[in-house]
Amino acid sequence: MDGLLACACLVLLFLCSGRSQETYYPHAPSDAVVHLEAQQQQRHGEHEQLQVAAAAAVVASSEQQQQQQLDEEPPYSFRGPYFDTSVSNNVTALVGKTAYLKCRVKNLANRTVSWVRHHDIHLLTVGRYTYTSDQRFVASHSPQTEDWTLQVRYPQLRDSGIYECQVSTTPPIGHSMYLSVVEPNTTIVGGPDMFINKGSTMNLTCIVHHSPEPPPAIYWTHNEEEINYDSPRGGVSVITEKGDVTTSYLLIQRAKEPDSGKYTCNPSNANPETVVVHVLNGEHPAAMQHGGQLRLEYPFFVVLFSFLVAVLAL
């Protein structure tokens, strides 16, 4: 673009210099006058050609500048509203914890944003107004932003499904989002009853599934009383590994008969789970745990041998 403008300027300078070189001969002979007029006509023609070239250079420069402006504009800016697809369209929420479905609309102008529930084609909100009798659904929008958020308060498992953010263009355009409402599940490996040999290490493993975020804390209780890890008994510790699946290990060394009873794993954002532990002193139940591993009283090969003997006897 700068080169074309420079070219146009040089052409104009040349035109001006061409005019300044014209000479007038008031007393020239008639042949000289005719020759001079021919030169002036030739220069006039060249002058018009240079003017056309300069004008073409200016037009080309203007077109190049306009194209550059179009290239620098965001995509679809001239097509009206469109959705920012960089915003996640999958939302996971806990039962009872408010869910937020965010829809970002570019170039909305004077159009209206609505939220529709797919499974029953139910209009939930229009703008910031709720159009359903279920007041758990609320639309929110902060001025000077492009975000239109549907809040689902106290969500239940039945609220899982597809929700669509719609813009009132002609025809309307929509962007679908999926809400997954989950209820964290807590399990204790080996429950609901566990048998431990006296003197062995008790390993209670609590696992929390389906939690969008790790529980801030996991509390262990023994017979409804919170376990004191600094008690004079000693040998009691907890190891917690947080992630998509959170696991908490309660370790009690040198198990004794008073360690029997009900143990409860209580995550701060999930339902508790309970196991009953029996510390045995020489008894032989059907299943026992040693160092956190279950052991069948009758080894596998003994069971298999008994089965084969029974088959051969038929």
Tens of pLDDT, residue by residue over 130-185, are 999 999 999 999 888 999 999 999 999 999 999 999 999 999 999 999 999 988 89
**Mean pLDDT over the full length of the chain:** 77
CATH of domain 82-182: 2.60.40.10
Whether residue 243 is predicted with pLDDT greater than 80 in this model: the reply is yes
State pLDDT tens for residues 183-227: 889 999 998 999 999 999 999 999 998 877 888 999 999 999 999
Task: For the chain, give the percent of residues with pLDDT over 70.
Answer: 65
Mean pLDDT of 228-256: 91
pLDDT at 42: 64
Sequence ranges of the domains in the chain: 2-72, 82-182, 190-304
Phi first, then psi: give them for residue 58, nearest 5 degrees. -65, -40
Mean pLDDT score, 62-89: 66
Does position 49 have pLDDT exceeding 70, yes or no? no
Topology alike, domains 82-182 and 190-304: yes
For position 117, what pLDDT does the model report?
A: 97
Look at the block and give the residue holding tokens 């203007």: 62
With 0-12 / 13-18 / 19 or more C-beta atoms within 10 angstroms meaning exposed / middle / buried, residue 191 is middle
Q: What angle do CA 220, 224, 228 make, to 5 degrees?
A: 50
pLDDT score recorded for residue 171:
92
- The distance in angstroms from the start CA to the end CA of the chain is 100
Confidence of residue 76 (pLDDT cuts 50, 70, 90): very low
CATH superfamily of 190-304: Immunoglobulins (2.60.40.10)
Beta bridge partners, 136, equal: none
Q: What is the pLDDT of residue 210?
A: 82
pLDDT digits (tens, 9 = 90+) for 248-301: 999 999 999 999 999 999 998 888 999 999 999 876 655 454 444 433 333 343
Model pLDDT, residue 86: 92
Model confidence, pTM: 0.53
Q: What is the mean pLDDT of residues 109-129?
A: 95
For residues 2-17, average pLDDT: 48
Winning range, highest mean pLDDT, from 18-27, 86-95, 145-154: 145-154
3-class SS of residue 305: helix
254's tokens: 């040198």
Alpha-carbon distances of 159 from 13, 178, 183, 212, 241, rounded to whole Å: 76, 10, 12, 16, 30
